[in-house]
Amino acid sequence: MTESLPALTEPAGAAAPHVPAVRRGAFRRLVRNPLGLVAAVVLLVVVVGAAAAPWLTTHAPDAADLRSAFGPSAPGHPLGLDSAGRDIWSRLLFGARNTLGGALLALAVAMVLGIPAGLVAGYAGRWFDAVSGWVVNLLMALPAMIVLLAARAIIGPTVWALMIILGVLAAPSFFRLVRGIVVNVRHELYVDSARVSGLPPWRIIGRHVLVVVRAPIIIQISLVAGVALGLQAGLEFIGVGSSSDLPTWGGMLNEGFQFVQRDRTLLLWPGLALGLTSAALVLLGAALRDVLEDRGTDPVVRRRDRAAQRAVAPAVLDGKAERSPLLSIRSLAVSYALPDGSQREVVHEVDLDVRPGEVVGLVGESGSGKTQTAFSALGILPSGGRVSRGSIQVDGQEVVGLSAASWRQLRSHVVSYVPQEPMSNLDPSFTVGSQLVEPIRAATGASRAQARERALGLLRSVEIEDPERTFRAYPHEISGGMAQRVLLAGAMACNPRLLIADEPTTALDVTVQAEVLEVLRRLQQERGLGVLLVTHSLGVVADLCDTVAVMQDGRIVESGPVDQVLTAPREEYTRRLLAAVLDEGQPPTVAAGRADEGER
Ligand SMILES: Nc1ncnc2c1ncn2[C@@H]1O[C@H](COP(=O)(O)OP(=O)(O)OP(=O)(O)O)[C@@H](O)[C@H]1O
Positive or negative, the CA dihedral 297, 301, 214, 118 is positive
Which protein residue has the closest C-alpha to ligand 1 atom 31? 367
Query: Quick one: 177 and 128 in the same domain?
Result: yes
Contact between residue 106 and residue 125 where contact means Cβ atoms under 8 Å apart: no
Atom index in ligand 1 nearest the CA of residue 334 equals 12
pLDDT at 308: 28
Q: Is 383 in the pocket of ligand 1 (CB under 6 A)?
A: no
Atom index in ligand 1 nearest the CA of residue 420 equals 27
Which protein residue has the closest C-alpha to ligand 1 atom 26? 366
Structural domain contains residue 313: no
- The DSSP secondary-structure symbol of 74 reads B
Structural domain contains residue 79: no
Residue ending a domain, among 295, 328, 349, is 295
Distance CA 542, CA 539 (A): 5
Average pLDDT, integer, range 185-205: 72
Distance CA 92, CA 255 (A): 13
Q: What are the phi and psi torsion angles at 305 (to 5°)? A: -100, 85
When pLDDT is cut at 50, 70 and 90, the band that residue 299 belongs to is very low
Would strands 498-502 and 530-534 be described as parallel, antiparallel, or unpaired?
A: parallel
Contact between residue 282 and residue 226 where contact means Cβ atoms under 8 Å apart: yes
Atom index in ligand 1 nearest the CA of residue 369 equals 18
First to last CA, the chain: 79
Span 40-81, pLDDT tens digits: 899 999 999 888 888 888 888 787 777 777 878 878 788 888
Ligand 1: centre distance to CA 400 (Å): 20
pLDDT at 13: 36
Q: Is 537 in the pocket of ligand 1 (CB under 6 A)?
A: no
Write the CA distances from 148 to 124, 152, 169, 187, 321, integer angstroms. Answer: 33, 6, 10, 39, 74
Q: Is 422 in the pocket of ligand 1 (CB under 6 A)?
A: no
pLDDT at 241: 64
CA neighbor of 459 nearest in space, from 430, 492, 428: 492
Contact between residue 392 and residue 399 where contact means Cβ atoms under 8 Å apart: yes
Which protein residue has the closest C-alpha to ligand 1 atom 25? 366
Q: Is 366 in the pocket of ligand 1 (CB under 6 A)?
A: yes
Own/partner contacts of 146-154, CB < 8 Å, gap of 24 or more, are 148/231, 148/235, 148/240, 149/240, 152/235, 152/240, 152/241
DSSP H or E segment with residue 502: strand 498-502
pLDDT at 584: 52
Instruction: For the chain, give the percent of residues with pLDDT over 90.
Output: 18
Structural domain contains residue 80: no
Ligand 1: centre distance to CA 434 (Å): 32
Q: What is the mean pLDDT of the chain?
A: 79
Who contacts 18 (Cβ-Cβ below 8 Å, separation ≥6)?
A: 298, 300, 428
Distance CA 211, CA 430 (A): 10
Q: How many domains does the chain have?
A: 3
Partnered with residue 550 across adjacent β-strands are 363, 558
CA neighbor of 315 nearest in space, from 119, 541, 481: 541
CA neighbor of 311 nearest in space, from 505, 591, 521, 558: 591
Residue ending a domain, among 494, 525, 548, is 494
Which protein residue has the closest C-alpha to ligand 1 atom 24? 366
Average pLDDT, integer, range 323-327: 81
Query: Quick one: 290 and 371 in the same domain?
Result: no
Structural domain contains residue 153: yes
Q: Is 222 in the pocket of ligand 1 (CB under 6 A)?
A: no
Query: Quick one: 366 and 272 in the same domain?
Result: no
Query: Quick one: 379 and 239 in the same domain?
Result: no
Distance CA 537, CA 503 (A): 9
Dihedral (Cα; 367, 368, 374, 380), 10-degree rounding: 40
DSSP H or E segment with residue 388: strand 385-394
Structural domain contains residue 127: yes
Average pLDDT, integer, range 278-283: 87
Which protein residue has the closest C-alpha to ligand 1 atom 30? 367
Ligand 1: centre distance to CA 391 (Å): 20
Residue 410, domain CATH: 3.40.50.300
Atom index in ligand 1 nearest the CA of residue 373 equals 18
Average pLDDT, integer, range 585-596: 40
Q: Is 559 in the pocket of ligand 1 (CB under 6 A)?
A: no
Residue ending a domain, among 280, 295, 310, is 295
pTM for the structure as a whole = 0.55
Ligand 1: centre distance to CA 372 (Å): 6
Residue type, 129: D
Query: Quick one: 467 and 505 in the same domain?
Result: no
- The DSSP secondary-structure symbol of 495 reads -
Query: Quick one: 58 and 138 in the same domain?
Result: yes
Q: Is 372 in the pocket of ligand 1 (CB under 6 A)?
A: yes
Query: Quick one: 146 and 290 in the same domain?
Result: yes
3-state SS, residue 409: helix
Residue 284, domain CATH: 1.10.3720.10
Q: Which of the residue ranges 155-159, 259-263, 336-340, 520-524 would you say has the lowest mean pLDDT?
A: 155-159
Biggest CA–CA distance in the chain, Å, is 111
pLDDT at 549: 95
Instruction: For the chain, give the percent of residues with pLDDT over 70.
Output: 84
Q: Is 382 in the pocket of ligand 1 (CB under 6 A)?
A: yes
Structural domain contains residue 84: no
Which protein residue has the closest C-alpha to ligand 1 atom 1? 382
Atom index in ligand 1 nearest the CA of residue 367 equals 19
Ligand 1: centre distance to CA 347 (Å): 9
Assess whether pLDDT exceeds 60 at residue 285. yes
Q: Which of the residue ranges 194-208, 214-228, 354-368, 471-485 would you say has the lowest mean pLDDT?
A: 194-208
Q: Is 419 in the pocket of ligand 1 (CB under 6 A)?
A: no
DSSP H or E segment with residue 161: helix 159-185
Pocket test for ligand 1, best of 338, 340, 344, 346 (most atoms within 8 A of CB): 346
Assess whether pLDDT exceeds 50 at residue 137. yes
Helices of type H across 238-368:
249-258, 265-292
Structural domain contains residue 121: yes
Structural domain contains residue 300: no
Q: Is 281 in the pocket of ligand 1 (CB under 6 A)?
A: no
378 or 24, higher pLDDT = 378
Query: Quick one: 401 and 436 in the same domain?
Result: no
591 or 102, higher pLDDT = 102
* Angle, CA of 152, 252 and 166, to the nearest 5°: 35
Query: Quick one: 251 and 215 in the same domain?
Result: yes
Q: Is 513 in the pocket of ligand 1 (CB under 6 A)?
A: no
Which protein residue has the closest C-alpha to ligand 1 atom 9? 372
Contact between residue 139 and residue 171 where contact means Cβ atoms under 8 Å apart: yes
Q: Is 193 in the pocket of ligand 1 (CB under 6 A)?
A: no
DSSP H or E segment with residue 549: strand 547-552
Write the CA distances from 362 to 371, 545, 567, integer angstroms. Answer: 9, 9, 17
Average pLDDT, integer, range 450-475: 90
Query: Quick one: 275 and 352 in the same domain?
Result: no
CA 295 remoteness from chain centre:
17
Pocket test for ligand 1, best of 371, 505, 537 (most atoms within 8 A of CB): 371
Who contacts 403 (Cβ-Cβ below 8 Å, separation ≥6)?
A: none
CA neighbor of 160 nearest in space, from 205, 202, 98: 98
When pLDDT is cut at 50, 70 and 90, the band that residue 25 belongs to is low
Contact between residue 285 and residue 226 where contact means Cβ atoms under 8 Å apart: yes
Atom index in ligand 1 nearest the CA of residue 554 equals 14
Average pLDDT, integer, range 526-549: 89
Q: Domain limits at 14?
A: 6-68+89-295
Query: Quick one: 150 and 160 in the same domain?
Result: yes
When pLDDT is cut at 50, 70 and 90, the band that residue 503 belongs to is confident
Per-residue burial over 246-285, b if 16 or more Cβ lie within 10 Å, else e, is bbbbbbbbbbbeeeeeebeebbebbbebbeebbebbbbbb
359 or 406, higher pLDDT = 359
Positive or negative, the CA dihedral 235, 240, 244, 245 is positive
Query: Quick one: 144 and 200 in the same domain?
Result: yes
Q: Is 384 in the pocket of ligand 1 (CB under 6 A)?
A: yes
Q: Is 346 in the pocket of ligand 1 (CB under 6 A)?
A: yes
Q: Is 368 in the pocket of ligand 1 (CB under 6 A)?
A: yes
